[in-house]
Amino acid sequence: MKPNYFLLVIIFWLASCKKDTITESPATQDLVGYEEGEELSAGIRTVNDQSNLAFSYQLSGLNPQEKLNFFVGNSFFNQNWVEAPSSTTARDGLGPMFNARSCASCHFRDGRGEPLANKGLLFRLSIPGVGTNGEPNADINYGGQLSDNAIQGVNKEGAFTIFYSEQSGAFSDGETYSLRTPLYTFTGLNYGAMNSGILFSPRVGQQMIGLGLVEALSDNSILANADENDINGDGVSGKANYVYDAVSKNQKLGKFGWKANVANLYHQTAGAFLGDLGITTWLFKNENCTSIQNTCQTAINGGTPEIDSTNLNFTVLYTRTLGVPIRRNYKDANVLMGKMIFKNLGCESCHKAKLITGTNAAINALNNVEIRPYSDFLLHDMGTALADNRPDYLASGAEWRTQPLWGLGLIQTVNGHSYLLHDGRARTIVEAIMWHDGEAANSKNAFKALSKKERDNVIAFLKSL
Ligand code: HEC
Ligand code: HEC
């Protein structure tokens, strides 16, 4: 038989290409600064996937029952709830007031929301002062969150529009960038004019990865980084929020939400069922209607409560057990260089690389895991431009929780957009950095002064997370 020379030539050509790439970047040079295992953002629990479903896998090491429960929880997270009465009583009870029909509308593919109604943006509302448990003081007519949706026969609270104004700036080397400041207008308000002193906080839903590991951090491991009065004099404080936990009925260290305004995933999930979908639970029994919203109060409900504690538990377990994807390109020279610059810029004063989870989590796989979330989970004053001027428990209007950076480089792949920061105003990672101010001003200015190549390396590092 005649040998297929054409095929052979192709094979040799491919082999030589591969060899070329290897010789061009010698392994020794690649490995400078590489730390064994740093690609495993959630340590031994890391998920090995980088597809558009990278945020949707359960972490490894769950027991057989937990593995099954994850899938039941997943269905409650993704399903669309319907209005009561309906033939599927386990899945009805949407509203009367709501923002979206499913958790996944705002956490699409367990990822990041966009600054749009129904796709992840919501407005927390309050008036000055605090409520009985230290929480923001709900508005009498509009409550604690703007409901921009309602079931038939009930008027939604209103809607919103966003207008962005652009300001350009320049890096020290002359390259320009542009930042867009959002300006919000509430429209079609159905329950009277809003209190003139109303405070509001626009927020998008975060990616759902690794949250159980964050919950499993001991208070001490988080408080070890707190420096509320900046005693070490580095210009960065780090303050703990203490918030009301409806489950234990105590004040607890806040860990979740953009202002660390919720202590645990049980409260967060039950709170989202009520506040975002209008689904009652044993924890939050009353529908989300203010006293002047009569049709809301008299609307048919989907049971008392609308989701029972078994199904609520499945959903909570789901939020606890979503894994964290493995990093990409972590041995590339530019990424390793970027990692070093990130450190030198002082980004790690807040975006702490490494933490170890505690030993008390009910789910065994969450205990004793070395994680690399790139967050201290503490509050920092980020300056006036990012401020919402709405206090949330101990968080001031200018303070935000350091957003973990794990998964950052996959948001585009999973969600098809790269809107960042609490209100999605940043369109790129560079813009997100340039919005940093307040305690992060020194870091931001140091980034601004870098050369183009150095900035690109930092971004390459961040995209590898
Ligand atoms: C209307 C959009 C929307 C819907 C629907 C929604 N969320 Fe969220 N989610 C958000 C926003 C916005 C935040 C940030 C909240 C804050 O900072 O106060 C958030 C935060 C969270 C967090 C904390 C994440 C973190 O990193 O701290 C969890 C957990 C969560 N949501 C779970 C759920 C579950 C479970 C459901 C369904 C029962 C749900 N969400 C439905 C918008 C939404
Ligand atoms: C003083 C603490 C602090 C420092 C220093 C700091 N950050 Fe942040 N970072 C934050 C906080 C808080 C947020 C969330 C702010 C918000 O959403 O309004 C954040 C958000 C981000 C985000 C957007 C994350 C997301 O998912 O939306 C990126 C990217 C980021 N930081 C990168 C950096 C880089 C790079 C540096 C160093 C040049 C840096 N940060 C320094 C506290 C800090």
For the chain, percent of residues with pLDDT exceeding 90: 90
362 CA from centroid of ligand 2 (Å): 31
* Ligand 2 nearest atom to the CA of residue 386, by list position: 18
Residue 362 burial (C-beta neighbours within 10 Å; 0-12, 13-18, 19+):
exposed
Contact 375, 407 (CB under 8 A): no
Which residues, at least 6 apart from 146, have a Cβ–Cβ distance to it below 8 Å?
Answer: 122, 123, 125, 157, 158, 160, 186, 200
pLDDT at 371: 98
**159-201 pLDDT, tens digit each:** 999 999 999 999 999 999 999 999 999 999 999 999 889 999 9
d(CA 359, CA 343): 29
Of the ranges 3-7, 14-18, 73-77, which is most confident?
73-77
**Ligand 2 pocket residue status of 322, Cβ below 6 Å:** no
Read off the amino acid at residue 228: E
Report residue 309's pLDDT band, with 50, 70 and 90 as the boundaries.
very high
204 lines ligand 1 (CB under 6 A): yes
Is 433's C-beta closer than 6 angstroms to any atom of ligand 2? yes
| Cβ of 408 less than 6 Å from ligand 2 | yes
Mutate to test the pocket of ligand 2, among 339, 402, 437 (most ligand atoms within 8 A of CB): 402
Pocket test for ligand 1, best of 74, 94, 114, 206 (most atoms within 8 A of CB): 206
Residue 255 in contact with ligand 1 by CB distance below 6 A:
no
Mean pLDDT (whole number) for 385-403: 98
What pLDDT is recorded for position 87? 83
Query: Is residue 110 within 8 Å of 208, Cβ to Cβ?
Result: yes
Question: What pLDDT, on a 0 to 100 scale, did the predictor assign at position 4?
Answer: 56
**What's the CA-to-centroid distance between 62 and ligand 1, angstroms?**
24
CA dihedral 281→282→283→286, nearest 10 degrees, is: 70
By percentage, how much of the chain surpasses pLDDT 70? 93
Atom of ligand 1 nearest to the CA of 257: 17
Ligand sitting nearest the alpha carbon of 317: 1
Residue 443 pLDDT > 70, yes or no? yes
Question: Phi and psi at residue 267, in whole multiples of 5°?
Answer: -60, -45
CB of 465 within 6 A of ligand 2: the answer is no
* 108 vs 9, higher pLDDT: 108
Is the pLDDT assigned to residue 401 strictly greater than 50?
yes
**pLDDT value at 14 more than 70:** no
- Tell me: pLDDT of 269 over 80: yes
d(CA 256, CA 268): 8
Dmax (CA) of the chain: 89
Rounded to whole angstroms, the Cα distance separating 56 from 71 reads 11
392 lines ligand 1 (CB under 6 A): no
Give which of 444, 19, 83 is closest to 278, Cα–Cα: 83
Residue entry with tokens 């390109």 = 329
pLDDT at 236: 94
Identify the sign of the CA torsion 249, 255, 261, 264: negative
pLDDT band, residue 13 (cuts 50/70/90): very low
450 lines ligand 2 (CB under 6 A): no
pLDDT, mean of residues 345-371:
98
**Average model confidence (pLDDT) across the chain:** 93
